[in-house]
Structure 1
Amino acid sequence: MDIATRVYNHKWKIDPIVRSLIDTDFYKLLMCQSVFRNRPDTQVTFSLINRSRHVPLARLIDEGELREQLDHIRSLSLSRGESTWLRGNTFYGKRQMFRPDFMEWFENLHLPAYHLERRGDQYELTFEGTWPEVMLWEIPALAVLMELRGRSVLNDMGRFELQVLYARAMTRVWEKVERLRPLEKMGIADFGTRRRHSFLWQDWCVQALSEGLGPKFTGTSNCLIAMRREVEAIGTNAHELPMVYAALAKDDAALARAPYEVLSDWHEEHEGNLRIILPDTYGTSGFLENAPDWLAGWTGIRIDSGDPAKGAETAIDWWRARGEDPTTKRVIFSDGLDVDKIIELHGQFAGRTNVSFGWGTLLTNDFRGLVPDDGLAPFSLVCKAVAANGRPTVKLSDNPEKAMGPSDQIARYKRVFGVGEQERLKVVV
């Protein structure tokens, strides 16, 4: 596909930013099924959070255009082919990953209403409703904001300027692929949906990795691209689950149990490579120290904040202390990765554990330095669950720069989970 010509001849009806309810991350659907089964009536609020306040989204993006894209998403429902793929495909070696009752609900779903308001140079965008419904807004909402911001820059570029831009960006991706080729005993997946440059660009990046890395490329988190390109859909669970479970806890004792209750519910539904621990929501060290023994038998751990090498060492020490062999386990690095960090971490841990990488924004949105004023550089935009049944959610992370929630609740969670001083690290998208 000639992406530059497609962008230059852009027609909204041909290229809506989100073109399917499965143009989302696979872990969202897995979590949605778990929530549908265990906490279907929980009322949750999601909110857009622009961590990069220097990017004035409300000045760059027309409100009418934003509403048009969001309204289009609300009009979407599963197609027959998408439903057949979800019902009949094999995911992680398991057929019928999605239960009939969940699929019947999903097939009849239209996303609920949104609230959009301009606040100075930023947008306030929130979604409220039952948890299974509103959680599916997160990924498409982020994709819309990221791509509209990019289109605001691309709209002023000519045909040849666009061709040169995409040629340079393609060359950059391919050079990264060539640097990764020599790495042995490594798996890498595309985790770049939420902050991608565009759907067309993410699709191109997936094809480039598939051709360039062969079996080392393990798949994509994007369900629609996985279906169309016949690659594996990759993903397990995210911070959202423990954040909401914790917010629902009635007292400190219940709060301390909440992160493990999440994984107990998950344990009943999934096995094998879907049993990946995400331990950093309220601090990795404390989580592992207090974890029940059955968690040590899970397949692996995803490292998503803090110093990644330190996190991996902590996991290896924990497995050994629990009588497990780290060389049989999987460590998935997924925080702020680019090719230099991937090579460095592979060199440190290959052979000591099974090393995998979930490569996100700097795979699917690395246009740094390619336009004047760096107007296409990626930035840190998230959409998080901020309240559950009227109670605020909290995330501590292994990097306090990623912490979120009311200050008094952050202090309470640090006390309950025994989180002491933490090293502040620059947030890399």
Structure 2
Amino acid sequence: MVDIATRVHNHNWKIDPIVRSLIDTDFYKLLMCQSIFRNRPDTNVTFSLINRSTKVRLAELIDEGELREQLDHVRSLSLRRGESTWLRGNTFYGKRQMFRPDFMEWFEALRLPAYHLEKRDGQFELTFEGKWPEVMLWEIPALAVLMELRSRAVLKDMRKFELQVLYARGMTRLWEKIERLRGIEGLKIADFGTRRRHGFLWQDWCVQAMREGLGSAFTGTSNCLIAMRRDIEAIGTNAHELPMVYAALAQSDEELAQAPYQVLADWHDEHDGNLRMILPDTYGTAGFLERAPAWLASWTGIRIDSGDPAEGAEVAIRWWQAHGEDPRKKLIIFSDGLDVETIEALHARFHGRVKVSFGWGTNLTNDFRGLVPGDALAPFSLVCKAVSANGRPTVKLSDNPNKAMGPEAEIARYKRVFGVGDQQASEVLV
């Protein structure tokens, strides 16, 4: 077991870089990357860092030179032989050779493209531009670097025993959560915490604790590097990025209305089983399901990632019933703002009515609330999103308007096209 406090205290980033590998990323990014490599390889996109928690002034906490060193290190990484062998030969979701030879040859030769970094009003403006399959792979490393540099900035003046006590308290907190989760009969839960983790070593410790504490109820991790090293399942399907870019490329309102379904038609051609999960909330869950083609009702399940999770699940159940599908055979994955209390409540309400699973993120891998003065390690909402495609702005509406992004005029247009009326705003939980 790694002594995290000692590693933090004696830290030298050249020995202990924040991002250790090109597969220190979420599994869904690689699945989506292969789909984009096949279907939209020449699309030009821009990704941008967005700090929703503006009170956390990252450019005043983090040294720009150190940030550039870490980002430059990420650009130096390439796929190692053992990593390539794992991706080429491992079984994922019951399927061997998930990643096609042409994609793997491209990935093995990849170096991530250049970045653009500026400071403005206490924040970093970090952008990435280029071909979609290359640029998209910056998202998770960029977030991991910023999140861990913030952690290091807060901890840099703490002495060894202070750090030992801090991590002991963090470990105790997580273990108490695990002990509560043990009491949930039929629980299925995975680690989705890469993008906002406290640090790599901490995420790895959390995964090991979940595996030991929950046994078969712990289904795996979204982090490919940890999955490979710990010999556990890599978990993930697809994300909002796909419909956002497909929609931005639409040349008319009619094409725009069909863009989210074209994404899933392309996905349907590549994947089956538990990889056929619908993420319906990019432009409003209710409207998405109301207009969805009948063939989507046969898919395995739905992931709920914004809005009221219970209401979203009820909408999905009614939709399946209306299409003659048995909800008890369908899977719902909850993945937004989870902690033990919400997991307990959602499982109690829906277990037996549907198959229930949870993707647990920030409150698994970054819950140090109240453990340092000024609550300076409290998690915050940092994202890295596609903001344009072929020069056209992207838009996300979400089931929570506080998560919406895009130019106001385009947001209004998308609401009209997708029939999104009044929405209930809620706090963005991390």
Task: Quote the offset at 1:341 in angstroms.
Answer: 0.4
Match of residue 44 from structure 1: 45
Aligned to 1:88: 89
Counterpart residue identity of residue 150, structure 2? R
After superposition, residues 65-76 of structure 1 pair within 5 angstroms as 65-76=66-77
Alpha-carbon distance, 1:186 to partner: 2.0
% identical aligned pairs: 80
Structure 2 letter corresponding to 1:355:
V
What letter matches 1:43 in structure 2?
N
What is residue 314 of structure 1 aligned with on the other side? Answer: 315
Matching residue of 1:55: 56
Q: Structure 2 matches for 1:203-218, cutoff 5 A? A: 203-218=204-219
- Indicate if the aligned counterparts of 1:185 and 1:354 stay in contact, CA closer than 8 A: no
Write the distance in 1 (CA, Å) between the matches of 2:336 and 2:4. Answer: 28
1:44-92 deviations in Å (ceiling 9; x for gaps): 0000000000001000000000000000000000000000000000000
What amino acid does structure 2 have at the position aligned with 1:139?
I
Report the counterpart of residue 6 of structure 2 in structure 1.
5
Task: Tell me, in whole angstroms, the C-alpha distance in 2 between the residues paired with 1:47 and 1:356.
Answer: 31
Per the alignment, residue 285 of structure 1 pairs with 286
C-alpha distance in 1 between matches for 2:225 and 2:185 = 29
- Once the two structures are TM-superposed, the CA of residue 14 in structure 1 deviates from its matched residue by 1.4
Deviations 1:113-153 (A, max 9, x none): 00000102000000000000000000000000000001001
What one-letter code is carried by the residue in structure 2 that aligns with 1:171? Answer: T
Instruction: Tell me the secondary structure at the aligned position of residue 145 of structure 1.
Output: helix
Q: Which residue of 2 aligns with 1:115?
A: 116
Instruction: Give the counterpart letter for 1:103 in structure 2.
Output: M
Residue 156 of structure 1 pairs with residue 160 of structure 2 = no
Q: Could you give the per-residue CA deviations for residues 379-425 of structure 1, whole angstroms, max 9, x where no partner exists? A: 00000000000000000000000000000000000000000000000
Calculate the TM-score normalised by the size of structure 2.
1.00
Confirm or deny: 8 A CA contact 1:192 1:202 kept in the other structure.
yes
In structure 2, the residue matched to 1:298 is 299
Structure 2 counterparts to residues 418-429 of structure 1, below 5 A: 418-429=419-430
Q: 1:225: which partner in 2?
A: 226
Q: C-alpha separation between the residues in 2 aligned to 1:198 and 1:101? A: 33
How far apart, CA to CA, are the structure 2 residues paired with 1:167 and 1:177?
15
Measure the CA separation in 1 of the matches of 2:30 and 2:238. 9
Gapped regions of structure 2 (runs ≥ 5): none
SS at match of 1:59: helix
Alpha-carbon RMSD across the aligned residues, in angstroms, is 0.4
2:243 equivalent in structure 1: 242
* Structure-1 separation of matches of 2:279 and 2:154: 36
Answering whether residue 354 of structure 2 is matched by residue 347 of structure 1, we say: no
Quote the Cα distance in structure 2 between the aligned partners of 1:328 and 1:380. Answer: 34
Deviates more, 1:250-259 or 1:176-185: 176-185
2:5 and 2:386 map into 1 onto residues whose CA distance is 36
Question: What secondary structure sits across from 1:186 in the alignment?
Answer: coil
CA distance in 2, matches of 1:316, 1:184: 21
Alpha-carbon distance in 2 for matches of 1:123, 1:416: 34
Structure 1 unpaired stretches of 5+: none
The one-letter code sitting in structure 1 at the alignment partner of 2:297 is: A
SS in 2 for 1:127: strand
- Aligned partner of residue 341 in structure 2, secondary structure: helix
* Cα contact 1:186–1:354 (8 A) shared by 2: no
Amino acid at match of 1:160: F
What TM-score does the superposition give when structure 1 sets the normalisation length?
Answer: 1.00
Partner Cα separation in structure 2 for residue 316 and residue 178 of structure 1: 30
Moved over 6 A (4+): none
Using the alignment, how far apart are the partners of 1:76 and 1:348 within structure 2?
45
